[in-house]
Amino acid sequence: MKLALIGVGLIGGSAALAWRHTGSVAEVIGFDCDSIALARARERGVIDRVASSAAEAVRGSDLVLVAVPVGAMRTIFAAIAGAVPAHAVITDVGSTKRSVIDAARLELNANSSFSFRRFVPGHPIAGRERPGVEYAEATLFNGKLFVSTPVGETSLEALTQIEALWRAAGARVTRMDADEHDRIFAAVSHLPHLLAFALVARIASEPDGEHKLGFAGAGFRDFTRIAAASPAMWRDISIANRAALGEELRGYRALLDEMQRAVDAGDAAAIERIFDLASRTRRSHARTFDAE
């Protein structure tokens, strides 16, 4: 099977490596707007050949993996719509699903030679502190979750094929509705990123920010680790999922209003109620999280 990899970053690169190792794909043609990343992917053996455009990459492929920031999905879909073989399956790894599905419906579905039935929206839940194909590894998805969010038109055959590929890469597979996906990940991923970015940005923008950061301990290190992530990627996610993220942020801000009142008033009981619920919950999930 011939894979066209559009976007040779950490996730796309790791998927290509995993599928090579398991023999799921025999040849990988890569395209990325970043020619340095493309060269690195070639050096690391992530891809066999470099294409000069997304359309060129998908020509003659059996499988297309679109692994670009969610804000670039529509442009890529538009670029490949006329070039994807009719039998090929297209899938993606976007962290938000509704926006990707809407973009695919507009651009891929409008194309007569490719059937929208062969588009499988998906999201592997894996990452690293640092982005980039230099950190890509075949084992990245081992024991991690892959969420597929098929739409009404998605063919069962294409869906089954993509889910089998992620299982081969070591992932556990689950299916859900795109809107449910976006709501869940707004809560457990997108909001935490926004909060960590905001905390570090706030300290950094103060005159004595550098001095303060000199006293940060292990708690701060862990809490802010996700703030080292790619600003462009998370800007795209925040915009693409802004409805669900906006709701989560609103709810969280309402809780912080309560916390402000409790702190200002020295209301120890109110503070402890929140802290205690959080601590019990986090401890009861420690095993699940730390197994990852």
Q: In whole angstroms, how close is the CB of 62 to a copy of itself at the nearest point? A: 30
**Shortest CB 124 distance to a copy of itself, Å:** 10
Instruction: Output the six-digit token pair for 287.
Output: 């095993």
Told to check if 224 binds a copy of itself by CB under 8 A, we report yes
Q: How many beta carbons lie within 10 A of that of residue 173, not counting itself?
A: 16
Residue whose CB is less far from a copy of itself, 91 or 95: 95
We find the least distance from the C-beta atom of residue 291 to a copy of itself, in angstroms, to be 10
Tell me how far, at minimum, the Cβ of 45 lies from a copy of itself, in Å. Answer: 25
Give the DSSP letter string of 189-248. IIHHHHHHHHHHHHHHTSTTHHHHHTT--HHHHHHHGGGGS-HHHHHHHHHHTHHHHHHH
Report the nearest approach of a copy of itself to the CB of residue 265 (Å): 9
The rounded distance, in Å, linking the Cα atoms of 28 and 276 is 51
β-partners of residue 90 are 64, 119
Q: Is 252 in the site for a copy of itself (CB under 8 A)?
A: yes
Site string for a copy of itself, 123-152 (x = CB under 8 A): --xxx-x--------------xx-x-----
Check binding of 230 to a copy of itself (CB under 8 A).
yes
Interface with a copy of itself includes 279 (CB under 8 A)?
Answer: yes
* 3-class secondary structure, 290: helix
Q: Does 87 bind a copy of itself (CB under 8 A)?
A: no
Instruction: Enumerate residues 163-182 that contact a copy of itself by CB under 8 A.
Output: none
201 sits near a copy of itself (criterion: CB under 8 A): yes
Three-state SS at 255: helix
Decide if residue 187 touches a copy of itself (CB under 8 A): yes
Contacts of residue 13, Cβ cutoff 8 Å, sequence gap at least 6: 5, 41, 44, 46, 67, 133, 136
